[in-house]
Amino acid sequence: MSRDLWVGRQSVRLLHRASKHHGVSDMQIVGIDCAAQPKNTGYAYFDGDAVMAIGAGGKEPAADIIELVDWGSPVLIAMDAPLGWPEAMGSTLVAHRPGEPIETLPNEFFRRRTDRVVHDVLRKCPLDVGADRIARTAHGALKLLHELRARTGERLPVVLDPWTTASTGVVEVYPAGTLKARGYPFQGYKTATPVHRAVRAQIVRSLEETLLLPNRDILLENDDALDAVVCVLASIDFMAGECIEPGADDHARMSEGWIWVRDPALLDEATGNR
């Protein structure tokens, strides 16, 4: 598959709102729509002032990303994939033997604490990393993250607490959840059918209410590229302090990870809905 790549310059307004709240003016963002195979990975690069590149379908997404980023400045990498597994699954399987029952409840065994919180708040559940094909995507995401660390020499720590300072790190995001939390179309846009393309066009129009988007064509034709742009938007929500945050007792995030997705209550406050 040939690589689809758009490189250019368009202003993006929303980061300036996040910047005013948090003192961020030059924060780079890389949104990555992760996949089990590199050829299905999409990415979008934001340089702190403008969307500079969107790509999908390349053989070496890590090399493309490394080339785009200024590694001498802070960068936030937003990955659309689970970055951890359920704590209960790990502790249970260590001692499990063939044929023995599993006493842990299915939702605690296959889902992380953050998955359950997102479901409770959004009424939409991320795929179970312990049971669905998303596990292969998670494996690919961790491999990509390892490659970025090895080739750049950056630690790239996973961020498990709310945003406080402009430092390099990695966040787990959930594009479909971000779209739903903002009241945008969030289903039926993943294939090449005319119907799904029409939904992608609706999503692009919705995103344009907030972002000045670059080349629309790649976003209309490639859902991996579109999700990568939504990952950038999710990062902006994170930096603006507008995501669902872990509670004081959510210690599981330290081993399982945390999904940073916009709090839909903000939409209700803006529209007056309850």
Other CB atoms closer than 10 Å to residue 71's CB: what's the count? 14
Determine the pLDDT at residue 79: 98
Determine the pLDDT at residue 158: 97
Determine the pLDDT at residue 3: 59
Angle at 156 between CA 46 and CA 119, to 5 degrees: 75
Reduced to 3 DSSP states, what percent helix, strand and coil does the chain have, rounded to the nearest 5? 45, 15, 45
Residues 121, 134: Cα–Cα separation, whole Å: 21
Determine the pLDDT at residue 250: 80
Q: Helices in 111-239 by DSSP H: which ranges?
A: 113-122, 134-152, 175-181, 194-207, 216-221, 223-239
Residues (pLDDT < 70) of the chain are 1-26, 49-50, 212, 214, 268-274
Residues 59, 3: Cα–Cα separation, whole Å: 8
Q: Helices in 11-133 by DSSP H: which ranges?
A: 14-22, 61-68, 87-95, 106-110, 113-122
Cβ neighbors of 127 (< 8 A, separation 6 or more) are: 133, 134
Which among 29, 27, 32 has a CA at the least distance from the CA of 73?
27
pTM of this structure: 0.90
Tokens of 200: 């992608």
pLDDT tens profile 236-259: 999 999 999 998 778 899 999 999
* Structural domain that includes position 76: 4-271
Structural domain count, the chain = 1
Instruction: Say how many CA atoms lie within 13 Å of 117 toward its Cβ.
Output: 21
